[in-house]
Amino acid sequence: MKQIFVQAIHEKRILEVVFSSSEKGIITRCCVPFDFGPSRRYKDGRERYHFYDLDSPEGKHNLSILPEQVINIRMESSCFEPANYVTWNPNWFVQRDWGECS
């Protein structure tokens, strides 16, 4: 699954992500793939998939998921423009060519 995730970063493709949430059960979301690596929010040092959730009922937001929570990742045909989502000066773990958003 990580290979598909990284490929989607390089191809700027939207992902369908199916994952297990301890609070809500099995969840499916359309997401922008941001990065894979330790979280700056959670200080436990564990690597996570970092997404931008596009269709959450609570509104669009960042989403960090541990690998063991991920059930499936599927690449969609639709693409995204990084500049529409990256509003900070990024320091990515996964190298990419996203122009100014790299």
pLDDT in tens, 16-45: 999 999 889 999 999 999 999 998 888 788
**What share of the chain in percent tops pLDDT 70?**
100
The whole-model pTM stands at 0.93
DSSP 49-81: EEEEESS-TT-SEEEEE-GGGEEEEEEEEEE--
- Distance between CA atoms of residues 34 and 12, nearest Å: 10
Q: What is the pLDDT of residue 42?
A: 82
CATH of domain 2-82: 2.30.30
Amino acid at 38: P
Domain spans, the chain: 2-82
